[in-house]
Amino acid sequence: MDLTGRIIAVLQPRSGVSARTGNTWMTQEYVMEIPGQYPRHMVFNIFGEDRIKQFNIQMGEDVTVSFDIDAREFNGRWYNDIRAYNVTRGVAPVAGAAPVAGATPFPPQQAAAPNDSTSPFPPAQEPAGEGSADDLPF
């Protein structure tokens, strides 16, 4: 998936040593604001010191981030992991749009007139007389 936006926070890198393999690791998280009528925010991470240095993401940059989403369970709770695998710089986000690969934006909702033939619901029926088989008590 791809999203385009502006980097609004660069969080501190975290590093450690794998208990299983003994290799060192490093990860860094970034917060991106996706423009639109109601701007959205996404936290994503980059894993690996070489990739962190390669992408060299700075505060205030306009970027397009290609990422994978995965979830993991820990102590009975589930957590999302949004990991970037490619970052493209200098792509100015289009005002009011957040391009998502393979997604089609929803059309704006419009109020339909009660007997409008484009309404997704059938017109309201007048209640039948007292004692009708269709009568519901609520």
Q: Convert the pLDDT of each residue in 27-59 to its tens digit.
A: 999 999 999 999 999 999 999 999 999 999 999
Which carries the bigger pLDDT value, residue 70 or residue 103?
70
Please tell me the predicted confidence (pLDDT) of residue 90.
76
Q: Is the dihedral of CA 93, 97, 99, 100 positive or negative?
A: positive
Angle at 60 between CA 54 and CA 64, to 5 degrees: 55
